[in-house]
Structure 1
Amino acid sequence: MLSTSTKNPYSMSQAYGRQPGAHKRMKHAQIHIVLALLLYSLRSGLARHHTRQPSGVIDTRGGQLSDGLTSTDLPYNDGSLSRELQIVPDPPHNSTMSLNLPVCRDIPNTGKFTGHWVDHPDRNYRGLYDQHSACPAWAHDFDCENSAQPADKNPALLAYEYRKVFQPDECRLNPWDTKGFEKCMLGRRIIFIGDSMTWQMYTSLACLLAPVTESGVGGMWDTVPKNTTVTGEYKGREWPEGRHIMKQYWAQVKLKNGGELIARCFGRFNGTLWDDVFAEIGPLNERDVIIVNFGAWYPRFNYHEIRTPFEAFKLDVKEIFMEKLAKSPAHTFWRINSPSHFGGHTGTFTAIQEMLMPEGVPKRQHCDPVTVGEYWYRDTVLSTLKECGEPCKKIRLLPVFDLSTARHNSHHGTFGRGRDVGFTDCRHFCLNVIDWWNILLYSMLCF
């Protein structure tokens, strides 16, 4: 606060004039007054910032200070500012394309890609859903409008979820363009290999590319035996005899310009199965793209397995990277593991819910948010890349974890899917979320 004497500059100069060095002290006092007024103004303008934020985080209640500063960081009492402050206004919360941000192209290979989901300004916006209404037969599943029971249908939640769009923190994503992606696919094959989450990503892309597709075939692996020679039984790492990997989905799609989508989805990794699949696909070249992930069948803890499946995940990731991908000429994306929303601190699926049902544990009626997520998968991947070094430099990470973790309401389980097998499916997303994985791929692959 300023003293009452500062209201009369003449009386203040008179007071300083009766002392040695008065002129210099008066000048210092005036400087202090200006600084005090400046700081008072800043404090008033930033009054809404009462809590510390991590660097770069924007408080949705007010503006952001440069370098992540908030009002509690300001040195109000030392008579000076430690750095120049620049107030950055909030970004608009209704569109991903109106921000003055660079296009997301060269995304760092850290597996992280943060942002927030915002409402589209059009309350009737349904994302890319209208294109899914014409999904071909070889890509028709994972639709949350097809809930398990009529009583589970929740049109209000569905409309709310499908109106959301993803807004990255550091850049903006190119809007989806079917013709643009088709052009990018010229002379190229995209090979999806992994578990059912990989099938979801393939399904989304096959639906989005339906208008430029010439032909296709796909479905459960066992329903298309005439199209594949890979029919044997394969065992997961450290699995007991008699237990075999589930071969889930198989698809082969040809676009009008000759590009291809290929899906080979199975639950756990096996090196021989991998080799047999790629022997059938044929020789790879530098135009080919492999999108791979295994993770859903490697829970951190598992009731069924004596050894922790996560230990097998570490060994399998090392073999995939060092023995398979590092030696392949194809352009490779490792899709970072997506979050599960089974409730609890980390969202881990322990595979014990079914076992406990007879003991009185109620079935989960919806999918819950998580506060941490299964971050250890990403840590393992980054550690393996570092250990592999130069041979793995060309492996890029498709960072879908942070993008997806906020979307617990867009899991199948919230809409009734999965309850018929004893537990709510809180792993598989509605396609509105998965579409954004492919929008991210579009920016990273085609620009």
Structure 2
Amino acid sequence: MTCTGMNMKSSSTVFREKIQFGKVERCINMGRRPVRFILSTLFIATIFSIFLLYSPNPLYLISKQGLEQQASSPMQGHKSHQKRESCDLSKGHWVRETRGSFFYTNSSCATIPESKNCFKQGRMDMDFLNWRWKPDQCDLPPFNAKTFLQIVQGKTMAFIGDSVGRNHMESLLCLLSQEEIPEDIYKDSEDRFRTWYFRRSNFTLKVLWTKFLIAGEERMINGTGSSIFDLQLDKVDDGWAKHLPGVDYAIVSAGHWFFRVMYLHEGDNVVGCVYCNEPNVTNRNVDFALQMSFRATFNYINGCKNCSGLVTLLRTFTPAHFENGAWNTRGYCNRTGPFNETEIDLTSSEWQMRNAQVKEIKRARKFGGNQGKRFEVVDVTRAMLMRPDGHPGEHWGNKWKSGYNDCVHWCMPGPVDTWSEIFMAVLRKEAGLSSL
């Protein structure tokens, strides 16, 4: 073996030959500098490996390329970058996929609310779990809790909206708890404002409850709620707004509370009403009131001086699926499988609600872009129009109102978990990691 030959080999080969044959000693005496370089390199590599192994926060050292590799799935493998760029996640259909195991169960997630824990409340069919959302132009990767927590490490995320928005947060909480168990660190007296903390990831997850996003008061008659509301179209609900500074990701949603009699105000003036049918008041559709609510909300966010770096995500309206009646007239939802594309109505009020929301976030993006504000859409309306089988129905632990069915909220686990799959794809794109 020549000294030149030895220099062409790896350091591990050099030391193996030294031990086995004793031939390297002669070369060390002839060329100390190359060996010193090799030893120095080995020493530095060893120290760096020890640092990675024992670092308290090694996730900070993971590159974007590492996240890409970790989150990739076989479904992504043969898609071109150009095709992923053009993929619309909101357009697609549900395909049957029998899963060997679900994302979580009511035994593996301790935070499923009683009212969404459909199996605990007596639901027997399970086939509604065996469907996957398939966008027309690409495949949607399954949720990856580890990658999600890496993306949001050190951040604060707030779900701002009503109980359906909380339903989304509770689903995400269960998905993430399969990777890291969070700490329940705050709950208000009415359990409407809640905070969870993932200590290992230094990630804070909040729910900020609000009926309308904007300020709204129910009219009281003899001390009893009338289900008639006065909404202030030019003022957001301070209950959530005061918590906005310090939030890195805000997921905003609303909708179901707007299907009530409402008087719409700007300042001291009544500018319209919904379902009131008064001769001297302009009659407005539900989607108009919703649109004005989101306009006020996004205007507030764009004007927030203490919201630097905030990313606002709209989660679009999700429909109820009452059949043969409404929630208070014995309507029910007992289907066990999804609709197909031909069975949904894209002229429905639910679709108009979605369009009103999307119109306002486009407007907000146009005006907020120059201020560094970022707006994205988690568009789930079309997918959820097809899932009448995903609601609790009679299986929501009803102890107060006999005969009422819940066809508004969503079973856990269930189709609601797809919201976080779409959410994660949008989040990855916004973070510059990839797009679909």
TM-superposition CA deviations, 1:52-82 (whole Å, max 9, x none):
xxxxxxxxxxxxxxxxxxxxxxxxxxxxxxx
The answer on 1:390 being equivalent to 2:366 is: yes
The 5 A counterparts of 1:27-176 are 97=75, 100-101=78-79, 113-122=90-99, 125-130=100-105, 132-137=106-111, 142-147=116-121, 153-155=122-124, 157=125, 159-176=126-143
The answer on 1:322 being equivalent to 2:299 is: yes
The answer on 1:222 being equivalent to 2:189 is: yes
- Alpha-carbon distance, 1:195 to partner: 0.6
User: Partner of 2:206 in structure 1?
Assistant: 262
Please tell me whether the aligned partners of residues 118 and 392 of structure 2 are also in contact (alpha carbons under 8 angstroms): yes
- Alpha-carbon distance, 1:218 to partner: 5.6
User: What percentage of residue pairs aligned between the two structures are identical?
Assistant: 20
* Counterpart amino acid of residue 216 in structure 1: D
Q: Residues 419 and 428 of structure 1: is their aligned pair in 2 closer, same or farther, counting only changes over 3 Å?
A: farther
User: Partner of 2:44 in structure 1?
Assistant: none
Please tell me whether the aligned partners of residues 106 and 444 of structure 1 are also in contact (alpha carbons under 8 angstroms): no
User: Partner of 1:442 in structure 2?
Assistant: 424
Please tell me whether the aligned partners of residues 178 and 208 of structure 1 are also in contact (alpha carbons under 8 angstroms): yes
Q: Any idea what SS the aligned residue of 1:317 has?
A: helix
Q: 2:352 & 2:252 partners in 1: Cα distance?
A: 18
- Alpha-carbon distance, 1:190 to partner: 1.1
Which moved further from structure 2: 389-398 or 330-339? 389-398
Please tell me whether the aligned partners of residues 364 and 375 of structure 2 are also in contact (alpha carbons under 8 angstroms): no
Which moved further from structure 2: 256-265 or 273-282? 273-282
Please tell me whether the aligned partners of residues 253 and 260 of structure 1 are also in contact (alpha carbons under 8 angstroms): yes
Please tell me whether the aligned partners of residues 172 and 420 of structure 2 are also in contact (alpha carbons under 8 angstroms): yes
User: Partner of 1:430 in structure 2?
Assistant: 411
Please tell me whether the aligned partners of residues 259 and 286 of structure 2 are also in contact (alpha carbons under 8 angstroms): yes
TM-superposition CA deviations, 1:386-424 (whole Å, max 9, x none):
544622452111011122221101111164665953532
User: Partner of 1:31 in structure 2?
Assistant: none
The 5 A counterparts of 1:356-435 are 357=329, 362-364=330-332, 366=334, 371-372=344-345, 373=348, 374-388=350-364, 390-393=366-369, 394-413=374-393, 415=395, 421=401, 422-431=403-412, 432-435=414-417
Name the structure where strand makes up a greater proportion of residues. 2
Out of 159, 176, 189, the residue aligned to residue 209 of structure 1 is 176
- Alpha-carbon distance, 1:99 to partner: 7.8
Q: 1:381 & 1:203 partners in 2: Cα distance?
A: 23
Q: 1:403 & 1:187 partners in 2: Cα distance?
A: 32
**Structure 1-normalised TM-score?**
0.58
Q: Residues 420 and 102 of structure 1: is their aligned pair in 2 closer, same or farther, counting only changes over 3 Å?
A: farther
The answer on 1:338 being equivalent to 2:318 is: yes
- Alpha-carbon distance, 1:429 to partner: 1.3
- Alpha-carbon distance, 1:199 to partner: 0.4
Q: 1:436 & 1:198 partners in 2: Cα distance?
A: 14
- Alpha-carbon distance, 1:384 to partner: 2.5
Q: Residues 154 and 261 of structure 1: is their aligned pair in 2 closer, same or farther, counting only changes over 3 Å?
A: closer
- Alpha-carbon distance, 1:139 to partner: 6.2
**Structure 2-normalised TM-score?**
0.60
* Counterpart amino acid of residue 129 in structure 2: Y
TM-superposition CA deviations, 1:277-311 (whole Å, max 9, x none):
34346434xxx111011111112889x95265444
Structure 1 portions without partners, runs of 5+: 1-94, 148-152, 225-247
Q: Residues 118 and 316 of structure 1: is their aligned pair in 2 closer, same or farther, counting only changes over 3 Å?
A: same
| Equivalences, count | 302
Q: Residues 436 and 311 of structure 1: is their aligned pair in 2 closer, same or farther, counting only changes over 3 Å?
A: same
Q: 1:136 & 1:101 partners in 2: Cα distance?
A: 37
- Alpha-carbon distance, 1:319 to partner: 0.2
Q: CA RMSD in A?
A: 3.6
Out of 144, 147, 160, the residue aligned to residue 180 of structure 1 is 147
Out of 296, 320, 327, the residue aligned to residue 256 of structure 2 is 296
Q: 1:337 & 1:259 partners in 2: Cα distance?
A: 27
Q: Any idea what SS the aligned residue of 1:332 has?
A: strand
